[in-house]
Amino acid sequence: MIPNITQGDRMAGLMIYLAGPGRANEHEEPHLVAGDSALMAWHDDNELNRDAALDIANALDRAKQFFETEVDGGHVFHCSLSLAAEEGQLTDQRWGAIADDFMKEMDFTEDGGRAPARWVAVRHGLSKNGNDHIHVVASMVRDDGTKWNGWKSKYKSQQAARILEKRHGLNLLGDLRAERGFTPAEQAKAIRQGLPEVERHSLARTVRFCATASTDEAEFVRRARQEGILVRPRYAAGRIDVVTGYSVAERPRKGERAVWFGGNSLGRDLALPKLRAGWESSPESAASAVAEWNLAARNRRPVNPGRETAQPSAELWRKYANDVSSLREKLATTAHDDHAAWAQAARETSAAFGAWSKRIEPTPGPLADAARELAKSAQLRRYPARPAVSLPSARGATMILLAATSKSDRAAYALMFRQLAQTARAIHDMHKATDDLRRVRGLSAAVVAAGKVVEASATVQTLTAQPMSMETLRQQHPEASEEALRSRLLVERSRGGSPLPPVLTRPEAGQLQGAQSRTGQPHWRNNPGIER
């Protein structure tokens, strides 16, 4: 949450502006969401007009006029409290609680032992950039004629914002574990085409799992093109042998143009320099990468397909499941303030869920939602050079899930999901320990939803007269671990049912329109896994 404080001397002018149409007619239904008790007793949450705005301004100014107290720079305190676009919209009740707590932290109320100052909080819709926000207006003259102390008020407002972010479950601005926002044009396009999410989110998921599954830059380019997205490099000035960045786009529908997104605009962890830190680097791999970028720029087919075309063996399934298990065990002893380590774990786990979603979900479902929530935990405002501790890599899980086929061993699938879900739970517990309530809620809902799908697909439907037991499996597979045995038992008891989440579908375009007509909002915006 970003506070922005200004000071002035025209209370009536400010209130008329807040209750008016705005500079670009962006103000919609201006109304109060909070204020001091005297003002809220006279003014409810009805839409404000010019007369109401003037009445409120006169009430706010009463102490200043009665005591004739002079304040350097003006007696009008104005602070906007704004959320990032990707945080969506809060209810009036939540904004009211935030405004009350903010004014207490800023010492405008009687809670600090001084006379209170008069104030209100106005809400009038989203900003031009799609940010949900409120405006807090107050008199800097208290009801006993003394002045509110504005010393270091901007610093204090930032400290108050950090406190309220934790208290009310908002994004923590210090770490900024959140995805990139999207524009109104992207939102309108998704609604128009009946898509379950905006292109920016689907592209970010694809780029993340392609990058994580790859061992070098050339493989990443080939994988991204193999997944059906358009890829183009950004060259250094005057060069075609030095790539400094990239852009990607979904293939456009007939009659429409492709919309390109740079890597950094998809996610902080998806900028090319950040991706390169996780790949092998040598003169040979750099030359291969440039060759693949040049082919992509000219829309030519790759000359030397590589690892992305291979089929993994059963042994690799178990190896990579064990790698995820090792990562989870290491996270149990990783300090919560080692942000780089947790971001790495979240990025790799998100990529694995995203790869799984790509293979079995025709439209984004619970696995895609889990991938998206985990990806938010991979976003940091500043990335340290390296984690404080060295973590085992879970990149192999993404590679093998991308290569999975219907013939892949079902017990291996079950074991892989169990390990990924437990790793996601470890990341959830880290956020809980650090009071990052928004990430806690998002991850909890996403992992539970994905787990229910898996559980439902593996529920025992018809047991044999003598059901398989763990003891029997131990005798049959003496070399297997307990995790592998539990996964195999799950498969055996499913009587042919798969532990894989079933293929999920969302409503067709016609059904989406029907949902919109009933709720006033398109179906995809009401999905708790997709933020507005």
DSSP 192-227: HTT-SS-HHHHHHHHHHHHHHH-SSHHHHHHHHHHT
Per-residue pLDDT of the chain (532 residues; tens, 9 = 90+): 889 999 999 999 999 999 888 776 667 889 999 999 888 888 877 888 899 999 999 999 999 999 999 999 999 999 999 987 767 789 999 999 999 999 999 999 988 788 999 999 999 888 776 788 999 999 999 999 999 999 989 989 989 998 998 888 887 665 445 556 677 678 888 888 888 889 999 999 999 999 999 999 999 999 999 999 999 999 999 898 999 999 999 999 888 899 999 999 998 889 999 999 889 889 999 999 999 999 999 988 887 787 887 777 777 888 888 899 899 899 999 998 888 889 999 999 999 999 988 887 888 888 899 899 899 888 887 776 666 678 888 899 999 888 876 555 667 777 788 888 889 989 989 988 887 777 787 788 887 887 776 565 444 333 333 445 666 666 666 666 676 666 655 555 444 444 444 444 555 544 444 444 334 444 344 443 333 3
Position 462 scores a pLDDT of 30
Position 188 scores a pLDDT of 81
Position 501 scores a pLDDT of 45
Position 511 scores a pLDDT of 46
The Cα 185–Cα 187 span in angstroms is 5
Position 379 scores a pLDDT of 84
Task: Report if pTM > 0.75.
Answer: no
- The structural domains of the chain, with segments of one domain joined by +, span 2-167, 179-310, 312-501
Q: How far is CA 234 from CA 226, 257, 344, 477, 479, in A?
A: 20, 19, 26, 53, 51
We find that the CATH architecture of domain 2-167 is: 2-Layer Sandwich (3.30)
| DSSP string computed for 220-255 | HHHHHHHTT-EEEEEEPTT-SS-EEEEEEEPPPPTT
